[in-house]
Chain A
């Protein structure tokens, strides 16, 4: 039975604990959200000793299941003041699971200055001074830790933004090349790790055995089918490896939903210059990689390595959301500048969506000109130096908007909106409003045919059907986030008759259970209820489930407006 590893960051002690019965069957987001509801006072300050940072591997992580290396990080969010689960790839999830650790829980808070480094291995846990790494970016931190503790270790770290406890700070996970291109980006969880004064965690699974399987034959059979499903689907088998998630730039632009110039238009005239197709051409011409997995065992390979015109690596994990936030939304059209901004965010430890929206708000406030990539790079660089302007930027869009007197701030629950204008894709707008996480596109990402009781023909510009679709997507996503499976598997699951059943077969074979697809749906519902309950206790009301009023303005090219009422939206959060 996997254990919980509790670390007291003030006393610098640790204890392994058997999970109590109601936690035993949970993993990933299901586990982090339940533990936060049970153990974190909902009214606490997110940077206080009462908050906990919980890092949990998924239920299937560490096994041979394809695409099961995702990890969930949970806490009360310093950005939203509500519950947060932020999800990442990288090496850590599988290694933790192999060590028999269900979750790491960082508790309490040191009184003295100075950061610590955690080394977790088969031998136990070491809590060491991290002085030599303090102030370093995530890139250099990971490089030095691999040099000292060996290549291919799992590393979880924060950069200068997390050290300063800024609310746009992310937590980074070493990818298979030791780069910090993978992040639990959203909600400012890097600030929580900074408040616990943990600079980095090294996870060494050397000597760890295989994960025990209740029925090895059934597992092998289900896993074979699982890999077939992923490999044979056009999204997971072809489009993502060729263009990455950036294939969406042109498509969302065409749909009139690519938020441009701080959500003023749904089309960006230079979309082609920042598109996945153009990015792939540049990668082919300059060197780099169009496909790369974010963790071993990934068969989708949506990640990439992007180089400058001299063939020098500029960034990795160059994603649609990032390219939109730092590109179309700021009207920066030079893909190399967008890549430099992405690399800066990864190194300093900033959420790219939050930072892109923040830059647009800073441009709105006249701090730097619209579309000026070089000025944006200088500005984001200031976050690393502790410059007061850098501290404003590192605290996200809402904070920056106040600092510069801006009235056009695209946030829900204090968190910046992602890359789909809610007026042109209304279903995702419903998710932005009603997710306990704040404006979050991944909260309603997964699709499963037996869960999705609505038909395929949704009109993205109308209200009809979009409340139901958002609700069903949120339930399915919460369940997938508990398994450690990458959300992108959902594309293939949508189109495959036995997709959900195969996931259930894997869980049953590993744990000796007899779950049905209905149990998975119920798991998803229970997670959403737990998260909602935490936020209710923290003082959130239906007034927090709104988009800013400027979304009532018509959005070109369709000139549609946001027209959901509070009561409409509350239907989504009612579960019988």
Chain B
């Protein structure tokens, strides 16, 4: 299959297509100068333990919930937007890793908030302890 494909690329057709392909590669859309896109970042949001109860009481979806945030939003911004204080959250998972609060969220990120109170040495073993000091 690969060989066949390779052959056709080097064949007579490719010579005809080449200028078109080159133009396609350098194509830039010409948009009106008034166009300012509101770029959104969509994350998959979860909150656990007491936070689940707290956010549910405020009608904020927090179980596998798709959530749109503005581009450049950090974890800290997200907490502020949800009116959560630093004491409400011990650790924030971004894509399954405990990350600092200044982490910038990108499209498709999976984000989960964990309040203080995770039992076991897992607070330590998962790197929650001391991650967000100060």
Interface of A toward B, CB cutoff 8 Å:
234-235, 238-240, 242-243, 245, 247-248, 250-252, 254-257, 266-267, 272, 276-277, 302, 420, 425, 427-428, 441, 444-447, 452, 455-461, 466, 469, 473, 488, 490-491, 494, 557-558
CB contact under 8 A between A247 and B96, given known A457-B130, A460-B125, A469-B124 = no
- Inter-chain contact B119/A239, CB cutoff 8 Å: yes
Contacts of B122 on A, CB cut-off 8 Å?
A: 248, 251-252, 255, 420, 425
Q: CA of A196 to CA of B27 in the docked complex: distance in angstroms?
A: 84
Q: Find out whether the CB atom of B118 lies under 8 angstroms from the CB atom of A251.
A: yes
> In the assembly, what is the distance between CA of A302 and CA of B119, in Å?
10
14 additional contacts, CB 8 Å, given A235-B117, A460-B126?
A238-B50, A251-B122, A255-B93, A255-B97, A255-B126, A277-B49, A445-B121, A456-B124, A457-B130, A460-B125, A473-B121, A491-B120, A557-B96, A558-B96
B41 interfacial contact with A, CB 8 Å: no
Query: What are the residues of chain B within 8 A of A425 when measuring CB–CB?
Result: 122, 125-126
Inter-chain contacts of B129 with A (CB < 8 A): 456-458, 494
Q: When each residue 97-134 of chain B gets 1 if its CB lies under 8 Å from chain A and 0 otherwise, what string results?
A: 11000000000000010111111111111110111000
Give the total number of A-B pairs whose CB atoms are below 8 A apart.
Answer: 120
- Contact: A460 with B119, CB < 8 Å? no
Which residues of chain A have C-beta atoms less than 8 A from B96's C-beta? Answer: 254-256, 266-267, 557-558
The answer on a CB contact under 8 Å between A456 and B49 is: no
Known: A256-B96, A460-B125, A557-B96. A247 touches B130 (CB 8 A): no
Q: Is the CB of A458 within 8 A of B124?
A: yes
Q: Are A254 and B116 in contact (CB under 8 A)?
A: no
Contact indicator A234/B127 (Cβ below 8 Å): no
Given contacts A447-B124, A469-B124, contact A456 B130 (CB under 8 A): yes
The contact of B117 among A238, A254, A447, by CB within 8 Å, is A238
Give min CB distance, A318 to chain B, whole Å: 15
| A–B pairs, 5, beta carbons within 8 Å | A235-B119, A250-B112, A251-B49, A456-B131, A557-B96
**Docked CA distance A243–B127 (Å):** 22
On whether the beta carbons of B121 and A444 are closer than 8 Å, the reply is yes
Known contacts being A254-B112, A255-B96, A558-B96, is A243 close to B49, with CB within 8 Å? Answer: yes
A242 with B50: CB separation less than 8 A: yes
B116 in contact with A457 (CB, 8 Å): no
* Distance of A353 from chain B, by nearest CB (Å): 15
Q: Which residue of A lies closest to B64 (CB)?
A: A272
Q: How far is the CB of A474 from chain B (nearest CB, A)?
A: 11
Q: Are B119 and A491 in contact (CB under 8 A)?
A: yes
Q: Are B52 and A458 in contact (CB under 8 A)?
A: no
Nearest-Cβ distance from residue B44 to partner chain A, whole angstroms: 11
A269 to chain B, nearest CB (A): 9
B117 and A239 contact, CB distance less than 8 A: yes
Least distance between B22 CB and chain A CB atoms (Å): 38
CB-defined contacts of A254 to chain B, threshold 8 Å: 46, 48, 93, 96, 112, 114
Given A251-B48, A277-B48, A277-B49, A427–B125 Cβ distance below 8 Å?
yes
Question: Which 6 interchain pairs have the tightest Cβ spacing?
Answer: A239-B117, A456-B130, A456-B129, A234-B116, A256-B96, A234-B117
Q: Choose one: A245, A458, A488, A491; the contact of B127 (CB below 8 Å).
A: A458
- Nearest-neighbour CB distance to chain B for A546, whole angstroms, equals 20
The answer to whether the Cβ of B63 comes within 8 Å of any Cβ in the partner chain is yes
> A445–B121 Cα gap in the complex (Å)?
6
Bound-state CA distance A264–B63 (Å) is: 24
The answer to whether B49 touches A239 (Cβ under 8 A) is yes
Point out the residues of chain A lying under 8 angstroms from B53, CB to CB: 277
The CA-CA distance from A427 to B48 in the complex, in Å, is: 23
How many angstroms from the CA of A272 to the CA of B112 in the assembled complex?
A: 13
Chain A residues positioned under 8 Å from B112 (CB to CB) = 250, 254
Q: Report how far A455 CA is from B125 CA in the complex, Å.
A: 11
How far is the CB of A270 from the nearest CB of chain B, in Å?
Answer: 11
Q: Chain B residues with Cβ under 8 A from A257's Cβ?
A: 126
Given A456-B130, A460-B127, A557-B96, do A445 and B120 touch, yes or no (CB 8 Å)? yes
Which A residues touch B123, using CB under 8 A? 491, 494
Knowing A456-B129, A460-B127 are in contact, say whether A250-B48 is a contact too (CB < 8 A): yes
**In the assembled complex, which residues on chain A have CB atoms less than 8 Å from the CB atom of B97?**
255, 461, 558
Q: Shortest distance in angstroms between A471's beta carbon and chain B's nearest beta carbon?
A: 13
**Which residue from A240, A420, A457, A558 sits with its C-beta under 8 Å from B119?**
A240
CB neighbors of A among B70-109 (8 A): 93, 95-98
Taken together as a complex, chains A and B put the C-alpha atoms of A379 and B63 apart, in Å, by: 33
> What separation, in Å, do the CA atoms of A457 and B96 have in the docked complex?
16
Q: How far is the CB of A93 from chain B (nearest CB, A)?
A: 21
Interface residues of B in 38-66 (CB under 8 A from A): 46, 48-50, 52-53, 63-64
Q: Which residues of B contact A251 (CB under 8 A)?
A: 48-49, 114, 118, 122, 126
A248-B118, A272-B64 known; A457-B127 Cβ under 8 A: yes
Whole-angstrom CA separation of A102 from B17 in the bound complex:
89
Q: Complex Cα distance A494/B53, Å?
A: 27
Q: Which one of B64, B98, B117, B125 lies within 8 Å of A247 (CB-CB)?
A: B117
Is A239 in contact with B50, judged by CB distance below 8 angstroms?
Answer: yes
Residue of A nearest to B90 (CB): A234
**Chain A residues within 8 Å of B117, by CB:** 234-235, 238-240, 247
A504 to B123, alpha carbons, bound, how many Å? 25
Cβ of A149 to closest chain B Cβ, rounded Å: 35
Q: List the B residue with the shortest CB-CB distance to A444.
A: B121
Using CB atoms, name the residue of chain B closest to A556.
B96
CB nearest neighbor in A for B112: A254
Residue of B with least CB distance to A277: B52
* A355 to B116 alpha-carbon distance, docked (Å): 32
Q: Is the CB of B127 within 8 A of A247?
A: no
Contacts of A302 in B (CB 8 A): 119
In the docked arrangement, what's the CA distance between A425 and B130, Å?
17
Contact between B124 and A248, CB atoms less than 8 A apart: no
A266 to B93, CA, bound (A): 15
Contacts of B119 in A (CB 8 A): 235, 239-240, 245, 247-248, 302, 488, 491
Q: How far is the CA of A491 from the CA of B120 in the complex (A)?
A: 6
Question: Within the assembled complex, what's the spacing in Å between the Cα atoms of A429 and B93?
Answer: 21
Q: What chain A residues lie within 8 Å of B126 (beta carbons)?
A: 251, 255, 257, 425, 458, 460
Instruction: Give, as a whole number of angstroms, the nearest-CB distance from A247 to chain B.
Output: 5
**Chain A residues with Cβ under 8 A from B125's Cβ?**
425, 427-428, 458, 460, 466, 469
